[in-house]
Structure 1
Amino acid sequence: MPVRERDRTDVLESPWLSQQAMAQLFRGELSRSDTWRTRLDTTTNWAITTTAAVISFGFASTQSSHVTFLVGIWMVVSFLLIEARRYRYYDLWNRRVRLLEEGWWAPMLRHEPMDPDALRELALELERPQIQLSLFSAISTRLNRAYGPILMVLMMTWFVKVYSHPKPPVDLDEFLARAGVAWIPGEAVTAILLLLTLTASYLFLSSFFIRAPLGELRTRPRGRRAALWESFYRPYAIHTRRKPTRRPRPSSTSEH
């Protein structure tokens, strides 16, 4: 074997260099995942700030138009789509972190051999990186995490604004007439908001039944689940009792 090929083989088979390489890889992927997680928080802060400003300005006086709430709903939906795209990229990097934890670090801490399936999947991700999470799942997850309550508040405040200012309508026709915007009739505006509400509700509810992304934290059904009142003062929601390790009894040998 030539000297260069033998040195290269020794470097690749060195356990110390392999551990150092995996540690550096884990550190890099964790930093990249944390960067994209920070970008998700930024978009959510934009949506919350916009919602607070829209509600404050819309209820400042009775002469304020309900168009402010429609603009707020449009902006929050835009933020949701932007954050769903960012969440797909975040899932890509966080997926690598989880594969490293499951395939390398967890078996090493248990003094077990490495998981070849997880490492093989990680190698495929490094060789050909591609987004695994669909846009549907990303929107559903972000609605479950933050945007569902925000959109619900905006929809309710729009309805309250149209219904109560300047006074409650006499019938449904008057309500629909108030909901109109410029040349767009109130029936069209109400139908669009109703369709948006039904779509968001469907995506929000579906997030509880679809398979969670690999990096998402889920409560695992192991051990005894703590009751709701216990979660206020106990540090963990799940308690697992360690089984006592039974030491083998020394065999008594009788001497004759």
Structure 2
Amino acid sequence: MKMEEDRTSSVREGEGARPLLLPSTPGEVTNTLIHYYRGELGRMTSWRDRIDRTSNWAITVVAALLSVSLSTPTSHHGVLLFGMMLVTLLLMIEARRYRFFDIYRARIRQIERYYFAQILAPEVGTGGEWAMVIARSLRKPRFLLSYQEAMHRRLKRNYGWMYFILLLAWCLKISTPKLQTEGIPALQAQSWAYVIDNAVLGPVPGFAVIAIVVAFYLGMLGFALRPDRDEGEFGHGEAHV
């Protein structure tokens, strides 16, 4: 009777209390852990699919705008600038999704590294606080990555190449007369003044547009090249999304 009382705890719902039966034997604990692992793996996979979906949207946007801008001489170079803005928006959305994905990925890796790996090949001195780490995360979920760190990782892995392609296309658009509406049949721009004139965006002079684009890309380059934070799961192995 005493053992039965120790196995139960009370969970209040409204004014009443209902008993919650907790696993007590090693077999019950293992079975519960397996089901929990499957559930967390499903949530992690779901958020990973959302991340991939956002990346696919960004790739589709870049491909569509490149096709419109470079295949049509009458298209304005502002289409590519608009593409840079859209890619930035998608990067921000993906960074938010990546932060949620990282929560579930960290829980999964705790179980894999400190439980399953120990079953397959036990190691002395392996941390035994993994269950407490997961319990704290379940009781009080919190983000393990800052928003800036999440953006840095997605920019470095995927979006940097998209920005680079858009920049090359934009430079080609404003510097190649054949791609301009009133261009002459030449292979390249005759002078910097020609490039600056082609970079005009409405009332904004071409020099200001070029300066803004250069400043934007220098900022992105510095942001992408900053060192990674080798903490938490990122300090174990190299296979990280």
- TM-score, scaled relative to structure 1: 0.77
- Residue 41 (1) aligns with residue 61 (2): no
After superposing the two structures, state which structure 1 stretch, 104-113 or 74-83, moved more.
Answer: 104-113
Question: For the Cα contact (< 8 Å) 2:7–2:22, is it kept in 1?
Answer: yes
- Residue 8 (1) aligns with residue 8 (2): yes
Within 5 A, what are the aligned runs for 1:22-33? 22-33=33-44
Consecutive unaligned residues of structure 2, counting only runs of 5 or more, are 10-20, 178-182
After superposition, give the CA deviation of every residue in 1:13-45 in whole Å (9 maximum; x if it has no partner): 300110011101111111000000000110111
Consecutive unaligned residues of structure 1, counting only runs of 5 or more, are 221-256
Give the match for residue 176 of structure 1: 196
Within 5 A, what are the aligned runs for 1:27-106? 27-106=38-117
Rg comparison, structure with higher value: 1
Give the match for residue 126 of structure 1: 138
Give the match for residue 211 of structure 1: 230
After superposing the two structures, state which structure 1 stretch, 129-138 or 172-181, moved more.
Answer: 172-181
Give the match for residue 215 of structure 2: 195
Distance 1:213 1:99 in 2: 10
Superposition deviation, residue 2 in structure 1: 4.1
Question: For the Cα contact (< 8 Å) 1:104–1:119, is it kept in 2?
Answer: no
Give the match for residue 235 of structure 1: none
- Residue 185 (1) aligns with residue 196 (2): no
Question: For the Cα contact (< 8 Å) 1:67–1:181, is it kept in 2?
Answer: yes
- TM-score, scaled relative to structure 2: 0.82
After superposition, give the CA deviation of every residue in 1:126-179 in whole Å (9 maximum; x if it has no partner): 111011101221111111211111110001100100000325444323322221
After superposing the two structures, state which structure 1 stretch, 72-81 or 176-185, moved more.
Answer: 176-185
Question: For the Cα contact (< 8 Å) 2:91–2:151, is it kept in 1?
Answer: yes
Question: For the Cα contact (< 8 Å) 1:102–1:118, is it kept in 2?
Answer: no
* Identity within the alignment, %: 29
Distance 1:40 1:146 in 2: 11
Does the C-alpha gap of structure 1 residues 89 and 216 become closer, same or farther in structure 2, counting only changes over 3 Å? farther
Question: For the Cα contact (< 8 Å) 1:59–1:161, is it kept in 2?
Answer: yes
Superposition deviation, residue 111 in structure 1: 4.9
Does the C-alpha gap of structure 1 residues 15 and 111 become closer, same or farther in structure 2, counting only changes over 3 Å? farther
Distance 2:98 2:44 in 1: 10
The number of aligned residues is 219
What's the Cα RMSD here? 2.5
